[in-house]
Amino acid sequence: MFNPGRIEGGEKANIVAEQCRMELDIRVPWGCSLESLKKGIAEHAPDAVIRETDVAEPTLTPPDARIVRTVCREVERVYGTAAPFLQWAASDAKYLRDRGFDVLEYGPGEIPTLHAVDERVGVEQLEKAVDVYRGVIRAYSS
């Protein structure tokens, strides 16, 4: 996933721009090669000056990790079913994984409003998430 979040260039609307500057936010999914991605970008923009900031390899918590099994069990208890999937976005989980922690992201929300202007969580979803979190805490506390 990528977002060309900022594009600047040109002097006026009726003059062809001599330069263009673009800032991309690229989220590299697990299993993709960061080096191949960088090479592909450079090949498509051979005259570009590319500056990288906050670059990180994709990370993955093994599906058989205790945290994954525990959260899935609790989600299934509350919702009746659980289907873990690879997250295609980026988060602070990579920093925890770099320190040796297994990490799983879970929380309530509605996909159509995710990161949108009207992002929201219903009260029922929030209450169910609390139930899941309590179950996870109980599992790790015993």
71-82 per-position pLDDT tens digit: 999 999 999 999
Mean pLDDT of 45-65: 86
pTM over 0.85: no
Which residues are paired to 24 by β-bridges? 4
Region of residue 98 (left: phi > 0; alpha: psi -120 to 50; beta: else)? alpha
Mean pLDDT of 4-18: 90
> What backbone torsions phi and psi does residue 86 show, to the nearest 5 degrees?
-75, 130
Q: Which candidate, 72, 80, 32, 83, places its Cα nearest to that of 56?
A: 32
For domain 66-141, give the CATH number: 1.10.150.900
| Gap between the Cα atoms of 137 and 38, Å rounded | 41
Q: Are 10 and 22 contacting, i.e. CB atoms less than 8 angstroms apart?
A: no
Q: Which candidate, 135, 79, 133, 68, places its Cα nearest to that of 107?
A: 133
Domain spans, the chain: 2-44, 66-141
pLDDT tens, position by position, 117-138: 889 899 999 999 999 999 999 9
pLDDT band at 100 (very low <50, low <70, confident <90, very high): very high
